[in-house]
Amino acid sequence: MRLVIKIGTQVISSKTGLNKKRIRQIIKEIAELLKLGHEVILVSSGAIGAGLPLVNFKDSVCKKVAAAVGQPMLMHNYINGAKKYKIVVGQILMLSDDFTNQKNFKNLILHINAMLAHKILPIINENDVMKGEDLIINDNDMLSAIVAVGVKADKLIILTNQDGLFTDNPDQNKKAELIKDVGDIDAKIKAVCSVGKSDLGVGGMCAKIASAEYATKGGVETLIGNGEKKGIILKAVGNNFSGTRFLAKNNSKR
Ligand code: GLU
């Protein structure tokens, strides 16, 4: 299977910086997938999360500076984790133009495919330092969905700090239930994200639903699960996934 795995900021970082142990765990599971013959494209947030503890000032450019400091730290940890399994990683940093400009997008897909052909693990993030505020792509959730459709992935796995999509805010309503399968992303499903527990990243649950809608319309099954749980990546590929699964549409068109 061809898999796009998106890792949210909260999964791999906290106020004190990167969670190196979690990064090692993620790479370990990816290594198992690669061993089984799957193809993996990783979309990882966490640059700003990694850099913020080292940037002790607060103004409008603070986040950009944090991203500039944090992106190499993020990659350093992925490279270190991957070394153990003899996995070589490659970095792709993207701007909105790379999606809207057809030539850029064609190049992106070409080079992701080339990396996969060379058994290199592509690790993608937004180019946070260079990005403007007038974005089409404002978070890595949508970025991962566009990439997943572009590379004709079999699954998009979005990992966050929540178990998935709930019928209500699970922190406030003990009766809130995890929605295991979503066929149609209708108004009822979209309404759920506005009451659900939101995470601290740019995305939040509404962005994840919008991304799932984009990906499933493009024929890519989308899963949202808790990246803090060991084994979640392997489960997402198997049949015992414990999060929310959005069924793919239009598979025949691909
Ligand atoms: N690109 C940002 C980072 O690496 C995160 C954006 C997001 O949360 O989607 O820190």
Instruction: Convert the pLDDT of each residue in 109-152 to its tens digit.
Output: 999 999 999 999 999 999 999 987 655 566 899 999 999 999 99
Cα separation, 125 vs 28, whole angstroms: 20
Joined tokens for residue 27: 């790479």
- Beta partners for residue 40, in sequence order: 3
Helix (H, G, I), strand (E, B) or coil at 3: strand
Helix (H, G, I), strand (E, B) or coil at 51: helix
Those residues whose C-beta lies under 8 Å from the C-beta of residue 4, and which sit 6 or more positions away, are 40, 41, 43, 144, 147, 148, 151, 153, 155, 156, 157, 220
Question: Could you tell me the pLDDT band of residue 197, with boundaries at 50, 70 and 90?
Answer: very low
For atom 6 of ligand 1, the residue with the nearest CA is 139
Cα separation, 129 vs 89, whole angstroms: 21
Q: Separation of 174 CA from ligand 1 center, angstroms?
A: 30
Cα 150 → chain centroid: 15
The yes-or-no verdict on residue 196 having pLDDT over 50 is no
Question: Could you tell me the pLDDT band of residue 171, with boundaries at 50, 70 and 90?
Answer: confident
Among 48, 98, 200, residue to substitute to test ligand 1 (most atoms within 8 Å of Cβ): 48
Long-range CB pairs of 179-185 (<8 Å, 24+ gap) are 179/244, 180/244, 180/245, 181/244, 181/245, 181/247, 182/212, 182/244, 182/245, 182/246, 182/247, 183/247, 185/209, 185/212, 185/213, 185/216, 185/246
Give exposure, 44-62, as e/b (b: 16+ Cβ within 10 Å): bbbbbbbbbbebeeeeeee
pLDDT for the residue numbered 139: 81
Segment 178-187 mean pLDDT? 93
Among 73, 128, 208, residue to substitute to test ligand 1 (most atoms within 8 Å of Cβ): 128
pLDDT in tens, 200-211: 445 578 889 999
Mean pLDDT of the chain: 91
* Residue 141 · residue 194 · CB < 8 Å: no
The yes-or-no verdict on residue 195 having pLDDT over 70 is no
- Percent of the chain clearing pLDDT 90 (strictly above): 74
- CA-74 nearest atom, ligand 1: 4
CATH homologous superfamily of 2-246 equals: Acetylglutamate kinase-like (3.40.1160.10)
Question: Could you tell me the pLDDT band of residue 199, with boundaries at 50, 70 and 90?
Answer: very low
| 3-state SS record for 196-210 | CCCCCCCCHHHHHHH
Task: Determine the residue type at 211.
Answer: S
Cα separation, 219 vs 35, whole angstroms: 25
Place of tokens 């990167």: 18
What stretches of the chain show up as alpha helix (H) in DSSP?
9-12, 20-35, 47-51, 62-83, 97-100, 102-117, 140-150, 187-195, 204-217, 232-237
pLDDT in tens, 6-15: 999 999 999 8
The yes-or-no verdict on residue 226 having pLDDT over 70 is yes
Task: Determine the residue type at 63.
Answer: K
pLDDT for the residue numbered 200: 40
Those residues whose C-beta lies under 8 Å from the C-beta of residue 17, and which sit 6 or more positions away, are 49, 50, 52, 53, 54, 73
For atom 5 of ligand 1, the residue with the nearest CA is 45
Report the candidate in 47, 60, 39 with the shortest Cα–Cα distance to residue 112.
Answer: 39
pLDDT for the residue numbered 164: 93
